[in-house]
Chain A
Amino acid sequence: MPETQTVRRVAIVGGNRIPFARSNGPYAQASNSDMLAAALDGLIDRFDLEGKKLGEVAAGAVLKHARDFNMVREVVLGSRLDKATPAVDLQQACGTGLQATIYIANKIALGQIDVGIAGGVDTTSDAPIAIGEKLRKKLMAVNRAKGNGDRVKALLQIRPGDISIEAPKNGEPRTGLSMGEHQAITAKEWGITREAQDELTVASHQHLAAAYDRGFFDDLITPFEGLERDQNLRPDSSLEKLAKLKPVFGGPDGTMTAGNSTPLSDGASTVLLASEEYAKANGLPVLAYFTDAQTEAVGYVKGEEGLLMAPAYAVPKLLDRHGLTFDDFDLFEIHEAFAAQVLSTLKAWEDPTFNKVKLGRDTPLGPIDRSKLNVNGGSLAAAHPFAATGGRIVASLAKALDEKGGGRGLISICAAGGIGVVAIVER
């Protein structure tokens, strides 16, 4: 590295996404590539990127077909960007979108590129289904066989019982528990009540509906397949309605329902990032700056910590690096994978015992001002197409800070595998 290397400020120029749809809904026929292409196309229009060569496009999908190994590059090749724009597929479960943003931002900060796009896409309607492991191994043996005789012999090894399919599982490989079941354990361990979860859910729907009504998303979303708003949004959601739902995780006495958990969904998002010089030279707006980020992980396999609790560790680390406290933030974007996840994390930050024992802090990070939390709605209302969530949050937070005329925002996203990705955005 040359000694003159400096770190540049990274501007968030804007974003574009397609409305998020419920699984097997309007986007049932759309592939990941189709959706990412649609979101990218809107971004190209919005910022006049047609024919331009960008530094890099980074995006990813959690559920991806094997044939889509170079999905993002293929999407770029099919887009109106200059064909010489490189691209990369990244994947970090639900942290994918934010991690792609960190990847592009870091390259811009280091001067390796001047402009780039981060994004993410996921479909649960067009999920990759593989053939069963026994059949696959035997077919591979057929493939290896030399000569027709051996090939037939190998084929004859296949038994009816070998024929099966493997669908992707929404579960942790090492525990066999789904994410919801894991979070149900954490919710119990933190004493999170059903009422508190339902209240957070209602707020999410109300905030998202209000944001749509005042036109907040007009320059953040392009309609797709006839959908103009997030399909999961229930503007009339209420505590009474949510109270009627049966628990889906944590057994019959559980507190987590289909209402206060995010549904399976489809969608895509993109964010345009650039150096300040590039933005100025190209007449692009700067909504906010992507300041810094932190990725942490926790052990959860033996119950050492909750699967989705890594952000509780990542945030203090990031804040300490900048000498910041919660009072220094104007907005908080905590990804609502489950209402209980947000509430467990908030409770941990307020809890003197957790702070002392797990974080080594004598004074708790403290509560956050709830009126600053997910002010334009969260994943509970918008839904959560895994890799698309990060881009949705980064673009929405940047715009919200721009609207306020300045301020500082915190992003916190939990992910499978005990991972947490958090970031600071400032204006």
Chain B
Amino acid sequence: MPDLYQQFTTSFVGRQLAPRLGLPQPPILERYRPGQRTVEGAVLVGAAPGGRLVPQLAKVLKDAEAEVWTAEGELREAAGEAGLSPKIFSVNGDGSSAAGDQRFKALVFDATGISDAESLKALHAFFHPVARKLRPSGRVIVLGTPPEDLDGAARVAQRALEGFVRSTGKEFGKGSTSNLVYVGQGAEDQIESTLRFFLSPKSAFVSGQVTRIGKGGAVPAVDWEHPLKGKVALVTGASRGIGEAIAETLARDGAHVVGLDIEPLADDLNRVMERIGGSSLTFDVTEDDAPQKLVAQLKAEHGGVDVVVHNAGITRDKRLANMKPETWDQVIAVNLIAPERITAELLKQDALHRGGRIVGVSSIAGIAGNNGQTNYATSKAGVIGFVDALEDEIAAAGATINAVAPGFIETQMTAAIPIGIREAGRRLSSLGQGGQPVDVAETIAWFASAGSGGVNGNVVRVCGQGLIGA
């Protein structure tokens, strides 16, 4: 839902006034509606010579029934091998094109073939002619090779992609997003869930992000309308706000959601769970025996769990000079220690199914820090450490662990922020607005998807490419 300022700038009067006064005009972002195609509109695909992802990319786009365009030549023929018959986008010598006013919903570029700084100009060659041809809420996706897997000039060039993607995110506007996906060697078959996420309106508020995809074992057949069909998902703090949106989104994707919250919020929790056909659990996750009891109950009632979202979180803001030790302890206990202990207990009791997904909820505060939030920022930075620390162990168990780091999201919590700071939080981002709880939920659903076995150890910001913490 647009905020008040957006309602004004998109009204008749606002549309006239805003440009004259030089006011920002945040676009209304497209969001996913069940049943719609992954990407509705033309997708222009390009590749630097020697790229290794085109066959897989073509296969995904064909399965997603996307309208694909490419230049003539090798790339188009490679797409033909995958059963695609792309439409032709050719650029004349003078930069014009027979495609005239054709616009694109997404621009996807396989940059894995870029092996040195000189060949980075393939980015310019592909994106320059279409820099003004991206439709509102458009998508830019650049695919590369993780620099750490490379040496020398190739490593330098692949690392350089980040600067390009972050800049197009700021430049293209109109609600478009721009993201970089590093695909490890041998992980080519793992890209589908990630590509679909970044192509679709599900990633409406995710921009300027770098994701790494590694080998994730055999990719199961995924029903993309219901990628969590038959899965059990535990969502802590599910009674309201972002947690409620997470529960709803995972349920939409087919999961049976087990919502957890503290006793005082049981009524809210029950209402949410009733609506989405989930089950309720009331626990205080900071109590000593809570993790053990919780996991035992999950095993008894659901035979274990597939997806665990450590969403429960609290703020107790105070400048450090005024902060009592209890205030510090409460925040660290809920936000960081509880996820650690629950996860450890899940592994100990072998309750996390193969193909399991652990998702932490960090925060932009954990990346950038925040005045009056030493305790909160410490806990949220700790969530990033939690992902890093468990990445290998969880992968060995055939599961994944990742985290989202929400930026300014429109919730009761952010509504309480004083207006000056609130407006700064909203507008100082590439998308010029706050995100919705569902934007965080969609990102978590992507991590949770049965197709995301190769997505491990990532921390993805859901911040509309906010300037804070960038």
Contacts and interface: CB of A to CB of B under 8 A. Distances in A.
A255 interface: yes
Interface in B83-101: 83-90, 92, 96-101
B84 A357 contact: yes
Given A189-B88, A191-B89, A193-B92, A352 B80 contact: yes
B101 A252 contact: yes
A190 B79 CA distance: 15
Q: How large is the interface on B (under 10, 10 to 19, 20 to 34, 35 or more residues)?
A: 20 to 34
Given A352-B80, A357-B84, A255 B67 contact: no
Which residue, B69, B85, B86, B98, has most C-beta atoms of chain A within 10 A?
A: B98
Nearest to A256: B100
A357 B98 contact: no
A108 interface: no
Contacts of A370: none
Contacts of B274: none
Contacts of A184: 100
Contacts of A189: 69, 87-88, 99
B99 A191 contact: yes
B76 interface: yes
B85 A354 contact: yes
B297 interface: no
B101 A251 contact: yes
B263 interface: no
Nearest to A188: B99
Contacts of A190: 87-88
Q: How large is the interface on A (under 10, 10 to 19, 20 to 34, 35 or more residues)?
A: 20 to 34
Interface in B150-176: none
A255 B97 CA distance: 10
A171 B165 CA distance: 42
Interface in B48-82: 67, 69, 72, 76-77, 79-81
B7 interface: no
Given A191-B90, A354-B85, A303 B67 contact: yes
B11 interface: no
Contacts of B99: 188-189, 191
B98 A191 contact: yes
B67 A192 contact: no
Contacts of B100: 184, 188, 247, 250-251, 253-255
A357 B85 CA distance: 6
A303 B85 CA distance: 13
B98 A358 contact: no
Contact of B98 (A193, A251, A354): A193
B101 A253 contact: yes
B327 interface: no
Interface string A241-260: 00000010011111100000
Contacts of B86: 353
Contacts of B97: 191
Contacts of B69: 189
Contacts of A247: 100
A357 B83 contact: yes
Contact of A188 (B79, B96, B102): B102
B20 to A, nearest CB: 26
Contacts of A191: 72, 88-90, 97-99
5 contacts: A189-B99, A191-B99, A253-B100, A356-B81, A357-B84
Query: Which 9 A-B pairs rank lowest in CB-CB distance, beginning with the nearest?
Result: A353-B80, A253-B100, A189-B87, A191-B88, A357-B85, A251-B101, A191-B90, A188-B99, A253-B101
Given A253-B101, A353-B76, 11 more contacts: A188-B87, A188-B98, A189-B88, A190-B88, A193-B92, A193-B98, A250-B100, A353-B85, A357-B80, A357-B83, A358-B85
